[in-house]
Amino acid sequence: MALHKGSGRDRRLAVSPLFGTADPLGAMKLAPPLHRLSDGSIPPPSAYQLIHDELMLDGNARLNLATFVTTSMDEHATRLMTECVDKNMIDKDEYPQTAELERRCVAILADLWHAPDPDQAVGCSTTGSSEACMLAGLALKRRWMQRNRDRYAAGARPNLVMGINVQVCWEKFCNFWEVEARLVPMSGERYHLDAEQAVAHCDQDTIGVVGILGSTFDGSYEPVAEICAALDELQQRTGLDVPVHVDGASGGMVAPFLDPELLWDFRLPRVASINTSGHKYGLVYPGVGWALWRDHEALPEELVFKVNYLGGEMPTFALNFSRPGAEVVAQYYTFLRLGWEGFRAVQQACRDVATYLATEIEQLGCFRLLTRGDQLPVFAFTTTDDVPFDVFDVSRRLRERGWQVPAYTFPDDRSDLSVLRVVCRNGFSQDLADLLLADLTRLLDELRLQPRPLAELGMPPRTGFHH
């Protein structure tokens, strides 16, 4: 969330005479201030229209190929969410059935991710994967503290091993909870963490290793099974028992349906916890996420709070207290409506569009693919060395047609590499993909007329990377 500064200037909104319900001249006199509360009230239709008109300047969500977040649901989901918009998720005694739907979602995910005993798996809804990652990190740190009480009291500093491609929430976790972030840099054509580097960065103060099932940089899966196997060997050799958390923000709702044989979840004994975003490939509007632990041992009891629930106690574990229940209801609706085969069909359609679009872009001859959309329905590509434009020029020109395709530079040690990334979500059809290709093909003819990239002519590159 961005931090915004206030403004002392007395700017005002101009109100159209036609906004007034009965008196056009009266509406013109409203002119409410932008940065302070007005002295009086204005009619609801006028307030609505003022905000509605400003929001037209936002980009079209369906053409936003930068975000992983769900931008379309059916009318029945929207209706359910509207009916539940006033429900507070924390009030489990007041809204027991909403709490029951949350419990069912946790049970469904525990079964989907092959918990050894779904009845023993524990989990909760969150406001998104960022909060879920914070909770998982806290559990990892507390388990390490329990095993190393004397060393921690003596000043030992815990660390967390992860690739530099992790979502920024992991760096926030390490900063907020005083954990050393051991970020493994990229190298050559290795754009994420591998088993060798994971083990090389572990020691007796490592609280865990984070494996990403679907890097936001390029859509690739990290080799979770290989990382776990390498950590098994490390334990046999040194006695160090390092758990793994899988950040499945996107892939946790893709791999079970499209890659069922891929080992990444609780089938691997070393995987202690998993998170996912219900509002990404979980197909729900923002914001809802999920955090699950393989059993009660993986989540220290001292982190769990009890709230009154139907005359008994309901265990809760979350950073937020009050938060909406509508998204949880929408998640259960999506599970109920689609089922396993429905989810598979939706995710397969996304992957089909991604692989099709990646292949067509490669055939344009101006781009080199880093990934092909055959893991997450996401792919990254860069320009070839023989063209007089760069990825920032392409992103800027696509935006003129409404397409939001982010261009960004990779982190250390591949900051020399700049790419475009396309996220194919439910609602981005092959028809829209063909329209994107047509626009891209047209603008290439003009971009080829440039003497060199605009950044070399003094225009700063406009980045657009959003997790």
Distance CA 46, CA 16 (A): 9
3-state SS assignment for residue 190: strand
The closest alpha carbon to 466, from 51, 34, 59, belongs to 59
**Cβ atoms within 10 A of the Cβ of 21, count?**
11
Q: What is the enclosing helix (H) or strand (E) of 160?
A: strand 159-163
Phi, psi of 251 (to 5 degrees): -65, -20
Give CB contacts under 8 A, 24+ apart, made by 311-320. 314/92, 314/99, 315/122, 316/90, 316/92, 316/124, 317/124, 317/135, 317/291, 318/124, 318/126, 318/131, 318/135, 319/126, 319/131, 319/134, 319/135, 320/126, 320/127, 320/131
Decide if 154 contacts 145 (C-beta within 8 A).
no
Q: According to the model, what pLDDT value does residue 453 have? A: 84
Q: Is 312 helix (H, G, I), strand (E, B) or coil?
A: strand
Q: Which residues pair with 404 in a beta bridge?
A: 64
Q: What is the dihedral of CA 229, 244, 265, 420, to 10 degrees?
A: -100
Residues paired with 163 in a beta bridge: 184
Residue ranges of the chain with pLDDT lower than 50?
466-467
CB neighbours of 458 closer than 8 A, spacing ≥ 6? none
Helix (H) or strand (E) segment spanning residue 147: helix 129-147
Residue type, 7: S
What pLDDT score was predicted for residue 322?
82
Query: In which residue are the tokens 């999920």 written?
Result: 290
d(CA 70, CA 82): 17
- How far apart CA 282 and CA 203 sit, in angstroms, is 35
Distance in angstroms (rounded) separating the CA atoms of residues 380 and 290 = 27
Distance, CA of 249 to CA of 280 (rounded, Å): 7
DSSP annotation of 406? -
Contact indicator for 81, 327 with CB cutoff of 8 Å:
yes
How far apart (Å, rounded) are the C-alpha atoms in residues 207 and 161?
8
4: exposed, middle or buried (Cβ count in 10 Å: 0-12, 13-18, 19+): exposed
**pLDDT confidence of residue 467:** 46
- Please, what is the Cα angle at 190 between 187 and 192, to 5 degrees? 100
- Burial of 242-271, coded b for 16+ CB within 10 Å and e otherwise, reads bbbbbbbbbbbbbbbbbbeebbbbbebebb
> pLDDT (tens digit, 9 = 90+) per residue, 325-343?
999 999 999 999 999 999 9
Burial class (CB in 10 A: 0-12, 13-18, 19+), 438: exposed
Query: Would you call the peptide bond into 427 cis, given omega within 30 degrees of 0 as the criterion?
Result: no
- With tokens 């530079």, the residue in question is 409
What is the pTM assigned to this prediction? 0.91
The pair of structure tokens assigned to 180 is 């050393």
CB of 433 closer than 8 Å to CB of 356: yes
The residue among 76, 125, 95, 107 whose CA lies nearest residue 279 is 125
Angle between helices 326-362 and 75-83 (to 10 degrees): 150
- Report the DSSP pairing between strands 159-163 and 180-184: parallel
What is the distance between the alpha carbons of residues 258 and 199, in angstroms, rounded to a whole number?
29
